[in-house]
């Protein structure tokens, strides 16, 4: 489930990054991405509106960060509560790869947010 939301939220962030795609978010194929992520994003948007430079919605990035923190707490290398309970080493490595992929996806997106903010500041 975490891998699905990592990919879906990354896609949602990229849709928000490009204004033409954001305007067409209710058309196919974006409507499926919106349908999969809106139930998770809308409560966060209502609680804390997150916009950078007036137009870029960073809610998907914030939720992706929360998913990563939860995944790291459950299967992280040092303190993962569930990782120690998995006796099969290849499964542990797969969980670690999932955790690392989330970090690799978050870092470039944060850099994109900072670049856009600096460009408008």
Indicate the domain borders of the chain: 2-120
User: What pLDDT is recorded for position 121?
Assistant: 44
User: What pLDDT is recorded for position 25?
Assistant: 72
Supply 24's token pair.
């067409």
Residue 19 near residue 55 (C-beta atoms within 8 A): yes
Supply 43's token pair.
């409560």
Contacts of 109 (CB under 8 A, 6+ apart): 10, 13, 61, 64
pLDDT band at 76 (very low <50, low <70, confident <90, very high): low
What is the tens place of the pLDDT at every residue in 19-49?
777 777 777 777 888 888 888 888 888 887 7
Place of tokens 């919605």: 57
Q: Say whether pLDDT at 55 is over 50.
A: yes
Residue 103 near residue 69 (C-beta atoms within 8 A): no
């Amino acid at each position: 489930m975490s891998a699905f939301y990592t990919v879906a939220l990354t896609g949602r962030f990229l849709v928000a990054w490009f204004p033409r795609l954001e305007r067409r978010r209710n058309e196919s194929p974006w409507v499926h991405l919106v349908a999969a992520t809106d139930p998770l994003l809308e409560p966060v948007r209502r609680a804390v509106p997150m916009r950078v430079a007036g137009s870029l919605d960073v809610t998907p990035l914030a939720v992706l960060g929360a998913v990563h923190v939860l995944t790291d707490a459950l299967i992280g290398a040092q303190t993962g509560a569930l990782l120690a309970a998995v006796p099969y080493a290849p499964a542990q490595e797969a969980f670690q790869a999932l955790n690392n992929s989330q970090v690799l996806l978050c870092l470039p997106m944060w850099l994109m947010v900072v670049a856009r903010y600096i460009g408008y500041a």
